[in-house]
Amino acid sequence: MAGRVGLALFAVFLMTVAFNVVTSLLLRDRAVKVPAIVSSKEAALYDPYAQNGFWLKGCFHVHTDAHPVTPERHTPHLVASSYRERGYDVLAISDYNQITDGARFFPYAMPSYEWGHNLIKRHALVLGAEEVVPDYFPLFAFRENVQWSLHRLSGSGAFVAINHPLLFGAFTDEDLVSLDGYQGVEIFSPFGDVVDLYDRILSAGRPVFPLASDDLHYLPAALIAEAGEPFYKRVMRMAANLEGREGEAFLRYNYVLSRSRKAEHIKEALCRGSFVAVREYLSGFGQRPIHFIGVQNGEVRVKLDKAAQQIDFIGPGGEVLKRVQNTNAASFAVTEIESYVRIDIQDLRGRMLSSPFFRHDGSLSNGLCREAAMAAHSDEK
Q: Are 121 and 189 in contact (CB under 8 A)?
A: no
- Would you state the pLDDT for residue 317? 95
Provide the β-strand partners of residue 300: 295, 332
Q: Are 266 and 72 in contact (CB under 8 A)?
A: no
Please state the φ and ψ torsions of residue 20, each to the nearest 5 degrees. -65, -35
Question: CA separation (Å) from 350 to 136, 253, 278, 305, 322?
Answer: 39, 12, 8, 16, 20
For the chain (length 381 residues), average pLDDT per consecutive 10? 79 92 94 80 93 94 92 93 94 96 92 92 94 94 94 92 94 92 95 96 94 93 85 83 75 96 94 95 73 96 94 97 97 96 93 96 67 55 44
**Pairing relationship of beta strands 299-314 and 290-296 according to DSSP bridges:** antiparallel
Q: Is residue 272 part of a domain?
A: yes
Q: Are 62 and 92 in contact (CB under 8 A)?
A: yes
**Pairing relationship of beta strands 184-188 and 209-212 according to DSSP bridges:** parallel
- CA 188, CA 210: separation in Å to the nearest integer? 8
Q: Are 279 and 251 in contact (CB under 8 A)?
A: yes
Q: Is residue 49 part of a domain?
A: yes
- CA 185, CA 163: separation in Å to the nearest integer? 6
Q: Is residue 372 part of a domain?
A: yes
**Pairing relationship of beta strands 357-360 and 340-347 according to DSSP bridges:** antiparallel
20 CB contacts (<8 Å, ≥6 apart)?
137, 138, 139, 140
CATH number at residue 162: 3.20.20.140
Q: Is residue 261 part of a domain?
A: yes
Q: Is residue 46 part of a domain?
A: yes
- Which of 271, 255, 263 shows the shortest CA–CA distance to 365? 271
Q: Are 170 and 196 in contact (CB under 8 A)?
A: no
Q: Is residue 278 part of a domain?
A: yes
Q: Is residue 341 part of a domain?
A: no
15: exposed, middle or buried (C-beta count within 10 Å: 0-12, 13-18, 19+)? Answer: exposed
Q: Is residue 227 part of a domain?
A: yes
Domain count of the fold of the chain: 1
Q: Residue 131: how many CB atoms within 10 A of its CB?
A: 11
**Pairing relationship of beta strands 184-188 and 159-162 according to DSSP bridges:** parallel
Q: Which residues of 135-169 are buried (b: 16+ CB within 10 A; e: fewer)?
A: bbbebebebbbbbbbbbbbbbbbbbbbbbbbebee
- Would you state the pLDDT for residue 364? 66
First to last CA, the chain: 52
- CA 20, CA 227: separation in Å to the nearest integer? 42
- Would you state the pLDDT for residue 381? 44
Q: Are 170 and 146 in contact (CB under 8 A)?
A: no
- Would you state the pLDDT for residue 32? 72
Range of the structural domain that residue 127 is part of: 10-14+16-290+361-380
- Would you state the pLDDT for residue 134? 94
